[in-house]
Structure 1
Amino acid sequence: MTGPQPDWFENPATRFRTAAFWFWHRIPTDDEIAAQLRDMRDKGIGCVMIQARPALDLSAYLSPAYLAAFRRACATAKDLGIAVTIYDEYGWMSGHGGGRTVDGADHLRERHMFWATAPVGSALAISAIGSPFLDFLGDVGRTWIYEGASAVWGDWRAIAAVAHPPVIRDEADLCFLGHAFEVRPDGNDGCRIEWPAHADLPADWQVTVFVSARCLTSRLVNYLLPETAERFAEVVYAPLLEAAAGAADGFFFDHPYAGFHTWKEHEGAIGNSLLCDGRPATADEIAALLSLVHDVGARTGTLRAGFLRAYAERLHEAFFGTLARWTRERGVGFTGHELLTHVGGWAVHGGPRGIDPRVMPGVDHFGVDAFRTETAVDAADFAPQIAAKFGDSVARANGRRRCTIEQYATGREAGRPTLAGQWDLTPQRFRVQAIRHLLLGARRILLHAVNVTDGFDRDERLLANPRWDFPPAYNFLPWWDDCGPIFDELSRLSAFLEDGEPVRSVALLYPLETIRAEGPAHACGRHFGLWAEALSQAGIGYDIIDERQLPSALSPDAGYEVLVLPAVSVLAEGPGAGHIRDFARRGRQVVCSGGLPKGLEDVASIGPPLAAMPASRAEPYHLAGCEAASIRARVAALPRSDLDMRFGDEGPTWSSIARVGPDWRLAALNDADHPRRLELTGLPPRPQIVILHSSTIGADRVEIAGRGDGTASLLVPAFGVACLVVSAGKTAGEREAGSRPSRVPSSSGDVIDLADGWTLELPGLAPVPIAVDRGWEAQGFPFVSGTGRYRRSIVVPGGPEGTRWFLELAGVEVSGEIWVDGVCLGRLLQGPARLLLPGRSGDTLSLEIRVRNTAANRYHEAMSFSAEDLPPSGLTSPPRLRATREP
């Protein structure tokens, strides 16, 4: 039954409402501040984060004029009931403050460690240092990051030299040569290394030398030094917090950059340079240091992982720890996200290329989250991905739940430059992606972004033109007017998902130590993604757990039935392996793919004999060399929740199941363009099923299509969301209110195409006759973005008693409203839609369909990276009238 909408669902709290980055490519006027914040309030934005972008002149950032505008914006937002979180940077890569952190403090500029290996007696050098990761920013980026728009390296220091045979058997083969050698600059991007001759070294040996240098022109910083964060707080956090004047609830950091440099002589297990404090290494440290470059024997993986663990812990404490204490002392929160190499997909390292996450705050996500008061992650583009699940899992590991998810768009999905983004984003695509995020663990969506300005026509300078700075800017999309209902739906769904304990029977281990030891190319990252994707699509509840959680996560009280080890080859030293064995001894499943970790080779023989297991558990523990198909098959055999739901076809079941006291809350998304049946099993006796409708868009609703003993079937419309409260039914003899089955009208087969007689009025143009079997871009209006008004008159047809006529639309690109005789019947998004016509047989009705397209038609005109085929705009198939009969 459809129950009354509770107030917490109808009017969700602010924390569930969509947030927005507010991009300032220039300092806005007072009128712009007031108008844009009112507009955001009216659309349902609950939180705003002002972000200075690289198109803003660097000298304007934190200037008196900037801070004055920031102060007015915070005060206005507070008056309008919009929360303010302070975004802490100029651009991103938190810590540099647009160069203010290192201004007058050159020792805080980024310093990196480099290395090279050569035969004994050969010359050694470091040359051609570059940052491929930053190349995509172009000239604007180089001007932003480097004083003088180029990197100049200097202040070279010796760290250590070690001699060793070409093939190292163990650590006893290493000969520490100390750090008494000369490092001489060689141009702006390298050095020459000279050391005293060592006549007693075997002629076939090699020497590996480690050196460090500071980038003399970089505005980026050295995160290993607590003083960096202290100064960043002094020159950036303090003035912004003062200007916010009590309106701000906290600070938001954005993926601190910690070294993505390569060089000509680069080799070894680590893909980039590492940050360095310039201190010489000792003999006790040399084996771990050399393990970054060469195999040093049986302990290589342990040494490497240990070095990188200590490096990460030091970096996190120096930067995040310092800022967390600063914000805590001032009574405000601390949130933000590190650079996530899984962004945009499921595999741990399937996102940005050319980055070794072990050298930056982008590998130990559980460790970073310990410093935050609220978890945040980012999501790239609009394919299903793991970001929200990761965010929720790390939050729960640190005593919280759910996360904020920053959703941004790149041009990569459409074959465009990254910064060119997606002005062709549709509202349905955005909505479906946001709902998936919520179901997988997000509490609110953070838009990237709302802009002060939409930039300049016929100017494709990436980043310099605000138009090409990771668009879309949502407030300049034609369908911005549709965002209010979309944001309302998202906040209702988030409120629905907030309470209770999610049912999650599977623990998926995040293979941190394997990543540290083996590197991002190891199979563990891909296997992890295959398991996460298969579990998510199957609708099986799971958490990602950290190795440090194994003692608590695998305890009898934790509730997990299955532990998945995705190509794990190394476990951290400690009790983890023992807890895994105990878990198996209690009859729980330990499933490994792609190899067994050292020390757990016998795990398959620890649990009960495979033949004695229930059928659903009879598959082998170890899936060696598995691929997506075998992982999906294994997931299909896993135990499911007692009360379960899944779509009855082969498509994904994006869903959430939670216990809230004696009741259950179930939510599921149908992300297909056609209705699907959602099958519920394991229902309590005489269940009461209450359907809450989160959306005001469209007319179709979730309906109960059938019931059985402990089962029920629901019909979920295309792109629809089911929010269900299930509770034990009434005792025998009691009437269950509202439990009558739905009366579904039946189609009579009478269909009338409305293919002719339409006119179209576009912004600034007079109405013209138009065809409705293809978009307006194909009929002489290729570069028009906005709202098109299709009009014609219709006469309501006759029919037998009980006949009702519906207006059906199968091709609306990309959103619209249906108006009849000046009254709005409803709003719809891309996909099939059906609305009941008013009036009686013979009535003449004035029909108007207002359709909004994307912004690409206008903004992509004459751009070199535009697609040859413009996205469709308006009506692309004739509307129809369809008769139905009341049963």
Structure 2
Amino acid sequence: MDQTPRFLGFWAVNEPLDLERHRAQIDQFRDAGLDGVVFHPRNYPDEPEYLGAVFMQTLSRLILHTRDQGLAFWLYDENGWPSGTAGGETLRQRPELAQQWLGCFREPKGDLLLQYGEGEERRYLCVQTGEGVDYLHPELAPTFLRLTYERYRDGLDPEAFAHVEAFFSDEPEFGLGHAYDALPPDGALPWTADLPQLFAARYGVPLLPLLPSIFGSGAETGTGRVRFWELLGDCFSERFLKPMRDWCRAHGKLFTAHVKGEEHPLFQVPMVGSCSRVYQEVDLPAIDALERFPTGDFFPRQLSSSARQFGNGRCMAEAFGGAGWGAGPEDLERFLLWLGRHGVTDFVMHLAHAQLNGQSLRDWPPSHPFHLSWSRAYGAVLDKVRHQLGHEGRPEADTLVVSPHRAIMSSYQPHELLQTNVHNAASYPDSTAARINRTFLQLVDALQLNAVSYDVTDEATLERYGEVQEDHVQLGQQRYRRIVLAPRHQVKPALLATLPDTLLTAPDAWLQHPWQDTAVVHSRPVRENVFSIEWKLKPVTRNACLIDGKTSEDGRFRCAFYVEPEAVGAPLLLLLSDLPKEIRLNGHTLSDPAERALFEFPLAGKLCAGCNEVQAQFATCIQPLAWVLGPFLVQSDGPFESLERGMRRTSGPFRLAEYQHALLAPGELVVTGLPFIFEPVVAQAKINFVYPLSSLRFQGAEGAALAISVDGHEPQWLWGPDWTLERPIAPGPHEILAQLVPSSYNFYGPHHYVHGDHHVISPAQFSGRRNFADPLGTPENTLDGYWRFCPLRFPHSVVAISAEARNLIS
């Protein structure tokens, strides 16, 4: 079973297709160590027309260039998100394919299907129509295939289409997640027009009389609820996913998709029923694993379990989106290793914007690798992850854990979704279904802590495909010699009767004794020699200062910055995230910007001592970001305060002061003049070692990454938590050249967000609107007047490890 990790850039094309510019970006993906590209029109300006002839001609040449660079090429199947709309064309041609749900109301609203209850308990079940598409409708998949997949097939050059490896479908689901903000307080059920007929044909009983109990009223009928949710799961899988997969297979392509609600069984039920069912219809099953920190061990393990049971073992994660600009190499390495150790093999790195502008830099950052301060270290991180997973891949499982999806279905009430964090269901109401879910996740945690080699399935999949033998259970391609049935599971008695007692392990064995550390640790004393380092900083020629500004409704943007008299003559630049129609500084017109990642305007001859005012006119009311760049120091009128995780904050305001090298302190660069800097800060040091060394561990470094060169040799990238240079060093004097890379957060922000460099950043953290990403207790307005920064410090000392000591350690 091939577990070789592969990394693909999730290329968000948010600008007109340009052959030369986008060829160069493909080369950047290659140089960053990525194995392929996922082409994703996202906020695409329709230049040239999406899926039109010129679009296909240009894209064909880009695909062939990708092939020539040795990179894989995938097509994201939508213009925007989620999949199925064909950029709005699906509903323009087939309005009857609009999503539906059955809402529970206290007054009639829409098409009334059923009413029940008396007095204050009276409820009206009404069919509602939303803006999305109906993934349960039998005509959606054929329509979407015709409008998107077949147009790629017919429009691309045959050679280019031959190089397309996969189609990627993003977040299809029953529909409640996409309609979340429109759902009534008493809840809603997924719906499609022929659902009552499907239910009656399958179970031989009518659906409508059961609906009150599914909503939580009247006599409890757990069996009816389970039947309802399992039917929806089959309908979704067979009507939408299976036709997409079959088309891809017929054309020699992989079909990969992730759905919404994968994080745990309680979230899966209203979104897709059970992912164990869904993954069976996807060649390369996938999850959406966003944010900066691991968020739960169940869903990546369920993913890889299904891939091993019913596929070739490979599976994909859309990874690291929303980790924030403050995420560094340490965070990326930890996150990828977490997924890889659960068996994920393909990583789509969310998100690489073709153009960084005011909108895209706020769009679930970071944009990587293109726009990171530490982009040059990106390939080294991927290489390290490849190496570690090559030695630490997930072994074959001998234990099968059966999740309690049916138990949750039988207790679940639709109103619970309205009290659930719809982003990742990290919070949800306390209910019977929730308690079953929570106990099951505790079981998964216990198995994880005890290093049990386990796979996961649900009750229905075990019943449908499990083959019980005397000494094992065969599920698909996998064989298990131990079965753990989750508490409250609803495996049918007929199957339970066939399971030998020798295969069954009670979950209480793990829940009551969740951690059994039997490792024996042998240690030898190791002498560490610590040397202080005296750094000599190189001059900083490109410092930065972000300027707060505001845009009026007619697109007029204003901001101002203060320059001390001694700094007026410095060669300063104004940097804008978006290109204005016109722009002035102190009444002087600025023109001919240089476009790099952003737009640079020279300011020579237009600056004045004191306040400098920028006025720009944009075509629409956008919110650009503006910086001043150049050789200066940023001084704050307010003091810097220390925060948790080493962060600093100040109320400002800031002044651009004359660059004075002596004022910068290697151990406190943010406070002494470089709070917003994006470029590496360079310093030298000389150290004398008296014996041969195998490695150096730098202590006290704060920043995204550190490039260390010894005696002019090729620099090696280091990052936390160990900051260790692995290379032999001879006795004698040595010169160390260090490039300290600041956190991208210090340049992009959101600086005024009350939680600073938070582990998940959505667009709302920039705008100040409280949402699901904010910790509990966050005020409604999440922005304040403070500026926040990640620390930036050169290491204060180095631990020299001799070759002999290294041998003892290893």
Is the contact between residue 50 and residue 87 of structure 1 (CA under 8 Å) also seen in structure 2?
A: yes
Which digits, 9 at most, give the CA deviation of each residue in 1:757-812, with x for residues without a partner?
444546464893476663422221111112111123x2525x5xx56596541133
1:370 maps to what in 2? Answer: 280
1:484 maps to what in 2? Answer: 379
> What is the CA–CA distance in structure 2 between the aligned matches of 1:871 and 1:330, rounded to whole Å?
51
Q: 1:778 to 1:565 in 2, by over 3 A?
A: farther
Q: 5+ unaligned residues in a row in structure 2: which ranges?
A: 417-430, 474-478, 543-629, 632-658, 757-785, 806-810
The residue correspondences of 1:274-289 to structure 2 (distance < 5 A) are 274-277=190-193, 284-289=206-211
2:353 maps to what in 1? Answer: 451
Which digits, 9 at most, give the CA deviation of each residue in 1:323-372, with x for residues without a partner?
12222222222111111341xxxx544xxxxxx643433x3112111111
Query: Which shows bigger deviation, 759-768 or 322-331?
Result: 759-768
> What is the CA–CA distance in structure 1 between the aligned matches of 2:304 and 2:250, rounded to whole Å?
26
1:518 maps to what in 2? Answer: 411
Which digits, 9 at most, give the CA deviation of each residue in 1:521-568, with x for residues without a partner?
411221222222232233221111221344637642246465434442
Alignment of 1:214 with 2:136, yes or no, is no
After TM superposition, give the deviation of residue 287 of structure 1 in Å: 2.8
Amino acid at match of 2:174: A
> What is the CA–CA distance in structure 2 between the aligned matches of 1:770 and 1:531, rounded to whole Å?
56
SS of 2:449 mapped into structure 1: helix
2:361 maps to what in 1? Answer: 467
Q: Percent identity?
A: 18
2:494 maps to what in 1? Answer: 575
Q: 1:804 to 1:574 in 2, by over 3 A?
A: closer
Alignment of 1:425 with 2:336, yes or no, is no
Q: 1:869 to 1:805 in 2, by over 3 A?
A: farther
Amino acid at match of 2:234: E
2:704 maps to what in 1? Answer: 814
The residue correspondences of 1:262-341 to structure 2 (distance < 5 A) are 266=184, 271-277=187-193, 284-297=206-219, 300-341=221-262
> What is the CA–CA distance in structure 2 between the aligned matches of 1:881 and 1:634, rounded to whole Å?
40
1:93 maps to what in 2? Answer: 82
SS of 2:168 mapped into structure 1: strand
1:442 maps to what in 2? Answer: 344
SS of 2:207 mapped into structure 1: helix
SS of 2:92 mapped into structure 1: coil
**Normalising by the residue count of structure 2, what TM-score does the alignment of the two structures yield?**
0.69
SS of 1:100 mapped into structure 2: helix
Alignment of 1:383 with 2:383, yes or no, is no
Is the contact between residue 111 and residue 214 of structure 1 (CA under 8 Å) also seen in structure 2?
A: yes
Amino acid at match of 2:497: G
After TM superposition, give the deviation of residue 70 of structure 1 in Å: 2.4
1:640 maps to what in 2? Answer: none
1:75 maps to what in 2? Answer: 64
SS of 2:172 mapped into structure 1: coil
1:135 maps to what in 2? Answer: none
Amino acid at match of 2:365: P
Q: 1:59 to 1:279 in 2, by over 3 A?
A: farther
Amino acid at match of 1:374: L
2:651 maps to what in 1? Answer: none
Amino acid at match of 1:371: E
Q: 5+ unaligned residues in a row in structure 1: which ranges?
A: 1-7, 118-123, 127-155, 167-203, 350-355, 411-420, 457-464, 593-618, 620-629, 638-644, 649-676, 680-704, 707-743
**Normalising by the residue count of structure 1, what TM-score does the alignment of the two structures yield?**
0.63
Alignment of 1:249 with 2:165, yes or no, is yes
Is the contact between residue 16 and residue 494 of structure 1 (CA under 8 Å) also seen in structure 2?
A: yes
The residue correspondences of 1:710-859 to structure 2 (distance < 5 A) are 747=527, 751-755=530-534, 757-759=536-538, 761=540, 763=542, 765=631, 768-769=661-662, 774-792=667-685, 794=686, 796=688, 799=690, 802=691, 807-812=696-701, 813-824=703-714, 826-835=716-725, 838=729, 840-841=731-732, 843=733, 845-859=734-748
2:269 maps to what in 1? Answer: 358
Which digits, 9 at most, give the CA deviation of each residue in 1:87-141, with x for residues without a partner?
1112222111111111121111223322346xxxxxx423xxxxxxxxxxxxxxx
After TM superposition, give the deviation of residue 312 of structure 1 in Å: 2.1
> What is the CA–CA distance in structure 2 between the aligned matches of 1:205 and 1:573, rounded to whole Å?
39
Is the contact between residue 694 and residue 802 of structure 2 (CA under 8 Å) also seen in structure 1?
A: yes
After TM superposition, give the deviation of residue 827 of structure 1 in Å: 2.4
SS of 2:51 mapped into structure 1: coil
1:634 maps to what in 2? Answer: 513
> What is the CA–CA distance in structure 2 between the aligned matches of 1:265 and 1:40, rounded to whole Å?
41
Which digits, 9 at most, give the CA deviation of each residue in 1:261-293, with x for residues without a partner?
46999466xx43422217777883223323222
SS of 2:61 mapped into structure 1: helix
SS of 2:737 mapped into structure 1: strand
1:159 maps to what in 2? Answer: 113
Q: 1:470 to 1:825 in 2, by over 3 A?
A: closer
SS of 1:435 mapped into structure 2: helix
Aligned length: 618
Amino acid at match of 1:583: P
Q: 1:31 to 1:767 in 2, by over 3 A?
A: farther
> What is the CA–CA distance in structure 1 between the aligned matches of 2:683 and 2:539, rounded to whole Å?
5
Is the contact between residue 293 and residue 331 of structure 2 (CA under 8 Å) also seen in structure 1?
A: no
> What is the CA–CA distance in structure 2 between the aligned matches of 1:115 and 1:263, rounded to whole Å?
15
> What is the CA–CA distance in structure 2 between the aligned matches of 1:833 and 1:408, rounded to whole Å?
22
> What is the CA–CA distance in structure 1 between the aligned matches of 2:23 and 2:407, rounded to whole Å?
52
> What is the CA–CA distance in structure 2 between the aligned matches of 1:877 and 1:773, rounded to whole Å?
8
2:400 maps to what in 1? Answer: 507
SS of 1:284 mapped into structure 2: coil
> What is the CA–CA distance in structure 1 between the aligned matches of 2:120 and 2:357, rounded to whole Å?
60
Q: Report which of the two structures shows the higher radius of gyration computed on alpha carbons.
A: 1
Is the contact between residue 761 and residue 767 of structure 1 (CA under 8 Å) also seen in structure 2?
A: no
> What is the CA–CA distance in structure 1 between the aligned matches of 2:399 and 2:46, rounded to whole Å?
50
2:19 maps to what in 1? Answer: 30
Q: 1:762 to 1:341 in 2, by over 3 A?
A: farther
Amino acid at match of 2:261: L
SS of 1:513 mapped into structure 2: helix
Is the contact between residue 321 and residue 349 of structure 2 (CA under 8 Å) also seen in structure 1?
A: no
> What is the CA–CA distance in structure 2 between the aligned matches of 1:785 and 1:335, rounded to whole Å?
36
Is the contact between residue 697 and residue 800 of structure 2 (CA under 8 Å) also seen in structure 1?
A: yes
Is the contact between residue 267 and residue 293 of structure 1 (CA under 8 Å) also seen in structure 2?
A: no
Amino acid at match of 1:211: C
After TM superposition, give the deviation of residue 469 of structure 1 in Å: 1.0
SS of 1:114 mapped into structure 2: strand
> What is the CA–CA distance in structure 2 between the aligned matches of 1:332 and 1:822, rounded to whole Å?
48
555, 561, 564: which one aligns with 2:484: 564
1:225 maps to what in 2? Answer: 137
Is the contact between residue 101 and residue 188 of structure 2 (CA under 8 Å) also seen in structure 1?
A: no
Q: 1:826 to 1:207 in 2, by over 3 A?
A: closer
Is the contact between residue 409 and residue 470 of structure 1 (CA under 8 Å) also seen in structure 2?
A: yes
Q: 1:486 to 1:553 in 2, by over 3 A?
A: farther
1:239 maps to what in 2? Answer: 151
> What is the CA–CA distance in structure 1 between the aligned matches of 2:3 and 2:409, rounded to whole Å?
40
SS of 1:313 mapped into structure 2: helix
> What is the CA–CA distance in structure 2 between the aligned matches of 1:236 and 1:485, rounded to whole Å?
37
Is the contact between residue 37 and residue 72 of structure 2 (CA under 8 Å) also seen in structure 1?
A: yes
SS of 2:284 mapped into structure 1: coil
SS of 1:636 mapped into structure 2: coil
Is the contact between residue 694 and residue 803 of structure 2 (CA under 8 Å) also seen in structure 1?
A: no
| CA RMSD, Structure 1 to Structure 2 (Å) | 3.5
> What is the CA–CA distance in structure 1 between the aligned matches of 2:708 and 2:799, rounded to whole Å?
14
Q: 1:587 to 1:453 in 2, by over 3 A?
A: closer
1:669 maps to what in 2? Answer: none
